[in-house]
Amino acid sequence: MSAAANTSGPVAWIAVDWGTSRLRGWAMAADGRPVEARDSADGMGGLAPDQFGPALDRLTAGWPGDVPVIACGMVGSRQGWVEAPYAAVPCAPLAVTPVRVPGPRAVHIVPGLKQAAPPDVMRGEETQIAGYLAAHPGWDGVICLPGTHTKWAEISAGEVVSFRTFMTGELYALLSAHSVLRHSVAEGWDEAAFAAGVDDAIARPAEIAALLFRIRADHLLNGTAPGRAAARLSGLLIGAELAAARPYWLGREVAIIGADRIAAAYAAALSAQAVPVDRAGAEDMTLRGLAAARLLLGATR
């Protein structure tokens, strides 16, 4: 790769968030600000091991090739580019130095976290947690990271004490697109229906499989509007999750990392339970976390 940059500022390093379906990269200035951002569909899920290097070269074409690259996410899984073995909690979110990918380019992958009992894993969220702690030194509390697989992490003294994953986002996607509910759910939103769904599921979380089918029956018998049904489906699933995650948030301060509608929905649901909520942007936390990971490599690399 040429070091000739088409960017507007000096690029000190490259930040990469490499998930299952997406590859995102930022040319970073020395002060931690992104100079340029790019993303592509070269997610880890569609790449063979020998395709990661070329995919990174395509994404970063024109950026300096001789600066370190710090990557987080599924790129470090067993099916990824190079396995970055999990660090075991309790530990700092960046407990282990990123793993160097063999080859001419200085690419480093941040390891994920694992928990032995109950068994759980994360890859990528540890970097956002590190970013939040870098922005809030000494902060103790609970971090919620909404997504396909929502994570709840308990933070104390700079360490992830324990965490827990809920398949809520994936359940929503499967149910709304592939189940019998697809006939009753469509684009749209209704705050009141969302809130009622949260309340119903928190009150009777065990009944979730029946509450879900009731969306279909309610549509057939009463003609519920599709957008209202979508909000209720989301509310039921998030409410059931909140019921199960109660030990994490009850009487605690919760930071939600995420800026999209789903993060806003979690914030609304938690606020309705009288939980104080702080919000932080996912991209901002990823970049702060990757910057913190870079420091682990030593300032000269």
Q: Which residues bind a copy of itself (CB under 8 A)?
A: 78, 86, 114-116, 118-121, 149, 164-168, 170-171, 174-175, 178-180, 204-210, 212-214, 216-218, 220-222, 237, 240-241, 243-245
User: Least distance in Å: CB of 47 to a copy of itself?
Assistant: 16
Smaller CB distance to a copy of itself: residue 7 or 273?
273
Q: How far is the CB of 143 from a copy of itself (least distance, A)?
A: 16
**Cβ distance to a copy of itself smaller for residue 64 or 169:** 169
Min dist CB 91 to a copy of itself, Å, is 15
Q: Classify residue 102 as left (phi > 0), alpha (psi -120 to 50) or beta.
A: beta
Q: What does the alpha-carbon distance between residue 110 and residue 242 come to, in Å, rounded to a whole number?
A: 29
HSE-up (13 A, CA, CB side) for residue 175? 25
The minimum distance between CB 174 and a copy of itself, in angstroms, equals 5
Closest distance between a copy of itself and the C-beta of residue 290, in Å?
23
Residues 162, 119: Cα–Cα separation, whole Å: 11
Q: 10 Å Cβ neighbour count for 49?
A: 10
Nearer to a copy of itself, 69 or 242 (CB): 242
User: By C-beta, is 56 or 171 nearer to a copy of itself?
Assistant: 171
Our CB check for a copy of itself shows the closer of 175 and 292 to be 175
Query: Toward a copy of itself, which CB reaches closer, 37 or 174?
Result: 174
Two structure tokens written together for 239: 């409410």
Q: How far is the CB of 38 from a copy of itself (least distance, A)?
A: 27
Give whole-number Cα distances, 148 to 151, 167, 262, 299, in Å.
9, 6, 10, 35
Spatial separation of the C-alpha atoms in residues 23 and 17, rounded to whole Å: 6
Please tell me what DSSP assigns to residue 137: T
- Phi, psi for 47 (deg, rounded to 5): -115, 135
